[in-house]
Amino acid sequence: MKKFEWQEGLKEKIDALCAIFPPVIKDRWKNRLIYNTEKLAAYEGLTVVTDDLFWRSVTEVFPGGYEPLILKVKDPQKLKTTMLSSRDQESMEPGKEPVTITRWSQSVGSTTDVPPGKKILAVNSSARKGGNTDIILDEIVRSCKENGATVEKIYLSDLNIKQCTGCRACRKGDVKTICALKDDMIPFYDKLYEADGFIAGFPIYTARENGIMATFMDRWDCFSNPFLTRKMPEGKKGLIVCSWMWPNATAYDDVVEKMVILFRLHHILTTDVLVVTGARGKKHGKGVVKHHPAILNTAYETGVDFLKSL
């Protein structure tokens, strides 16, 4: 790649952006930023890396969850305003909180009939009963039930789910209980096999799915057992509900996308995703979505469309 002239001060901004990284990975990030920025310049036939081009490159290289780090360098005042705004939410009139819901899929259309008698399994990995993830899940569950489906909702925090030990028993023979560990996952496997649709809700606290969900999904690895005679039935559909506090509605899209891929590896095709964001404050905005009829309506309609996809 040819040499490019960089606008004054941009290399210093790279150093500032990468200052948070420990030395063992700092150069990896710097090299990614430089390479991607100059690649964009080459694509556009430029000889000088401009400020605008540089920040476009930053948003491509850094995951959305790095937005506070980016703002710290790019626009410190905006970062301060965003951080302080969480204090205001506690005094807001119910229904005025800056919480949003984003739906990844469009409606399947009103001409599609809802199939009767479908079995839905819903799980919530959040331990905050009555929180935003829980309320959205409940609205979807209500929608499914009112449209003829049988639904079972499970709180993963109520179950005894052990961590995968990597024993690899599920790679050595046909494990009749699916997993060799004996805990509350054993009856769950039966429920999942029998369900037509699977709904999963999880919050993001630290730039990934919360711990219970991670442990839960580790225990799905046994479905890949080549000797397993009980194969996951094809055609099972999935719906994901995710929430996080940061107001950027795309901040952790990469985390959600990885969950969609993980479901697909186990023969569950995710047809829709609901993301709830911006519920903040000292109480972490617990349950504020219940004051937002439009958000609840989106969840209800998503439940109907999910049934239509089965």
Give the confidence band of 251 by pLDDT, cuts at 50, 70, 90: very high
Query: Helices in the chain by DSSP H: which ranges?
Result: 10-17, 23-43, 51-61, 67-74, 76-88, 132-146, 185-194, 211-218, 253-265, 293-308
Same domain for 137 and 43: no
Return the higher-pLDDT residue of 95 and 125: 125
Quick: pLDDT tens for 255-282. Answer: 999 999 999 999 999 999 999 998 876 6
Task: Give the per-residue pLDDT at 38.
Answer: 95
Q: Is 205 helix (H, G, I), strand (E, B) or coil?
A: coil
Same domain for 71 and 197: no
Average pLDDT for residues 110-120, to the nearest whole number? 84
Quick: pLDDT tens for 16-61. Answer: 999 989 999 999 999 999 999 999 999 999 999 999 999 999 999 9
Q: Are 271 and 239 in contact (CB under 8 A)?
A: yes
The total number of structural domains in the chain stands at 2
Is there a domain that residue 31 lies in? yes
DSSP state at residue 67: H
41, 58, 88 - which closes a domain: 88
Task: Give the per-residue pLDDT at 283.
Answer: 62
Is there a domain that residue 94 lies in? no
Q: 221: domain range? A: 100-308
Same domain for 217 and 175: yes
The CATH number for 212's domain is 3.40.50.360
CB atoms near residue 154 (< 10 Å): 15
Same domain for 72 and 169: no
Alpha carbons 158 and 128: distance in angstroms, whole number: 11
Same domain for 140 and 65: no
Percentage of residues of the chain with pLDDT beyond 70? 96
| Encoded tokens for 227 | 């000797």
62, 88, 114 - which closes a domain: 88
pLDDT of residue 191 exceeding 90: yes
Cα dihedral across residues 171, 174, 177, 180: positive or negative:
negative
Give residue 186's Cα distance to chain centre: 25
Give the confidence band of 109 by pLDDT, cuts at 50, 70, 90: low
Task: Give the per-residue pLDDT at 214.
Answer: 96
- The per-residue DSSP string of 86-136 comes to HHHGGGSPTT-S--EEEESS----TTSPPPTT-EEEEEE--S-TTSHHHHH
| Encoded tokens for 143 | 């929608």
Same domain for 173 and 77: no
Q: Is 198 helix (H, G, I), strand (E, B) or coil?
A: strand
Same domain for 177 and 153: yes
Is there a domain that residue 195 lies in? yes
Is there a domain that residue 133 lies in? yes
Is there a domain that residue 271 lies in? yes
Same domain for 175 and 32: no
Task: Give the per-residue pLDDT at 1.
Answer: 56
Alpha carbons 251 and 283: distance in angstroms, whole number: 21
Is there a domain that residue 226 lies in? yes
DSSP state at residue 209: B
Same domain for 178 and 30: no
Quick: pLDDT tens for 198-250. Answer: 999 999 999 899 999 999 999 999 999 999 998 888 889 999 999 998 888 99
Average pLDDT, the chain: 92
Is there a domain that residue 136 lies in? yes
CA separation (Å) from 263 to 81, 197, 199, 251?
38, 12, 11, 21
Task: Give the per-residue pLDDT at 106.
Answer: 64
Is there a domain that residue 95 lies in? no
Same domain for 304 and 263: yes
Same domain for 271 and 130: yes
pLDDT of residue 307 exceeding 90: yes
Closest to 240 measured CA to CA, from 206, 222, 263: 263
Rounded to two decimals, the pTM is 0.90
Same domain for 127 and 73: no
88, 109, 135 - which closes a domain: 88
Closest to 264 measured CA to CA, from 243, 234, 241: 234
